[in-house]
Structure 1
Amino acid sequence: MIQALPKLLAISLMTATLCACSLYPDVNSDPAKNNKATFQQDALDCAQSYPESGSGVHVKQRIGCMNIKGWH
């Protein structure tokens, strides 16, 4: 049982990472802003506003920032 713990932990971590990435907003409610260039600019803006942190809190903050900009 103890030998399976590292594998279980690795699988859980990969699953959590994949789920977190799938929650990132990618469609804007404003059709004029729903394009790749605007998305990249808004994503860069949010990334600069909320730099990476060791705890991963920055991901939720960036998603919130994108939601404020109209991305869902």
Structure 2
Amino acid sequence: MHKLSPLFKALSILLFISIAGCVSLPTENQDPSKNNKATYNKDLKECKEDYPEAGSGVHLRQWMGCMNLKGWK
């Protein structure tokens, strides 16, 4: 096996942080009766089951879209 250079590791970490900072799942439901942690966790779990994690990160956008359809903004 080969070792990764420190520069490559640093750039990889920086890229991950910058991508993670741009993506934020919605956290507030437009229906006040559903605006609680239990409903949020249930809806997010369903979205994660419908759209499994992908190495490319496309699943994050799918989860956001799914949560938006469930009324989360």
The TM-score normalised by the length of structure 2 is 0.79
| Cα deviation digits, residues 25-46 of structure 1 (max 9, x gap) | 0000000000010000000000
Runs of 4+ in 1 over 4 A off after TM superposition: none
| Percentage of matched positions with identical amino acids | 47
Stretches of structure 2 that go unaligned for 5 or more consecutive residues are 1-6
Structure 1 unaligned segments of length 5 or more: list them: none
Which residue in the other structure is 1:60 paired with? 61
Q: Which residue of 2 aligns with 1:29?
A: 30
1:5-42 CA-to-partner distances (Å, cap 9, x unmatched) read 6344532331221221xx21000000000001000000
State the alpha-carbon separation in 2 of the partners of residues 42 and 19 from structure 1: 22
CA displacement 1:32-69 (0-9 Å, x = unmatched): 00001000000000000000111111110010000000
RMSD: 1.8
- In structure 2, C-alpha distance between the alignment counterparts of 1:53 and 1:12, rounded to whole Å: 17
